[in-house]
Amino acid sequence: MQSKIIEMSKKIKNIVISTIIVLACVCFTASSPSDNFKIIKNLDIFFSVFRELNLLYVDDIDADKIVKSGIEGMLNELDPYTTFLSEEDIEEFDLATTGEYSGIGAIVGVKNNYIQIVETYKDFPADKAGLVSGDLILSIDNVSLHGKTTAEASNLLKGEQGTTLNALTVKLKTSDTVNVQLTREKIHISGIAHAGIIRDNTGYIALSSFTQNCQKDFKNVLRELEATKQMKSLIIDLRGNTGGLLDAAVDIVGMFVKKGTEVVYSRGRIKDFDYSYKTKEEPLLLDIPIVVLVNSGSASSSEIVAGALQDLDRAVIIGTRTFGKGLVQTVRHVGYNSRIKLTTAKYYIPSGRCIQAHNFSKHNEDGSVATIPDSLKKEFNTVRGRKVYDGGGIMPDIEVQPDEFSDIAISLALRNLIFEYAIRYFSKHEHIGEPEKFKITDADYLDFTEFLSDKEYDYQTKAENIVETLAAEIKKGKYNDSIKTQIDALKNLITHDKTKDLQTHKYEISQLINEEIASKYFYQQGRIRKMLTDDKQIDAALNILLNPNRYNEILNKK
CA distances from residue 180 to 29, 183, 187, 334 in whole angstroms, order as listed = 58, 10, 19, 42
Is 154 designated active site?
no
User: Is 351 annotated as catalytic?
Assistant: no
Residue 542: is its pLDDT beyond 90? yes
Q: To which H or E segment does residue 263 belong?
A: strand 262-267
SS3 11: helix
d(CA 195, CA 275): 33
Sign of CA dihedral 368, 372, 378, 384: positive
CA distances for 125 relative to 157, 163, 167, 187, 387, angstroms: 11, 12, 14, 9, 51
Dump pLDDT digits (tens) for 407-437: 999 999 999 999 999 999 999 999 999 999 9
What distance in Å separates the CA atoms of residue 69 and residue 343, rounded to the nearest whole number?
20
Which pLDDT does position 494 carry in this prediction?
Answer: 64
Verify whether residue 325 is a known catalytic residue. yes
Fold of 100-188: Pdz3 Domain (2.30.42)
pLDDT tens sequence across 248-305: 999 999 999 999 999 999 998 888 888 999 999 999 999 999 999 999 999 999 999 9
**Does the pLDDT value for residue 390 go beyond 90?**
no
Hey, what long-range contacts does 113-116 have (CB within 8 A, 24 or more apart)?
113/146, 113/147, 114/138, 114/145, 114/146, 114/171, 115/145, 115/148, 115/150, 115/153
Q: What is the pLDDT of residue 26?
A: 47
Say whether pLDDT at 78 is over 80.
Answer: yes
Which of these is catalytic: 133, 139, 217, 325? Answer: 325
Catalytic residue among 154, 266, 296, 300: 300
Q: How confident is the prediction for the chain on average, in pLDDT?
A: 86
Q: Is 526 in contact with 435 (CB distance < 8 Å)? A: yes
Catalytic residue, candidates 237, 251, 311, 501: 311
Instruction: Return phi, psi of residue 130, to 5°.
Output: 90, 5
In this prediction the pTM is 0.85
User: Hey, what's the torsion of the CAs at 258, 213, 195, 403, to 10 degrees?
Assistant: -90
Question: 304, 277 in Cβ contact below 8 A?
Answer: no
CATH code assigned to 192-401:
3.90.226.10
Listed range (13-17, 236-240, 370-374) with the worst mean pLDDT: 13-17
Contact 106, 119 (CB under 8 A): yes
pLDDT digits (tens, 9 = 90+) for 517-537: 999 999 999 999 999 999 999
Confidence of residue 16 (pLDDT cuts 50, 70, 90): very low
Contact 204, 196 (CB under 8 A): yes
Strand 185-188 with 100-103, pairing? antiparallel
As a whole number of angstroms, the distance between CA 238 and CA 241 comes to 5
- Residue 268 and residue 266: Cα distance in Å, rounded? 7
pLDDT at 5 over 50: no
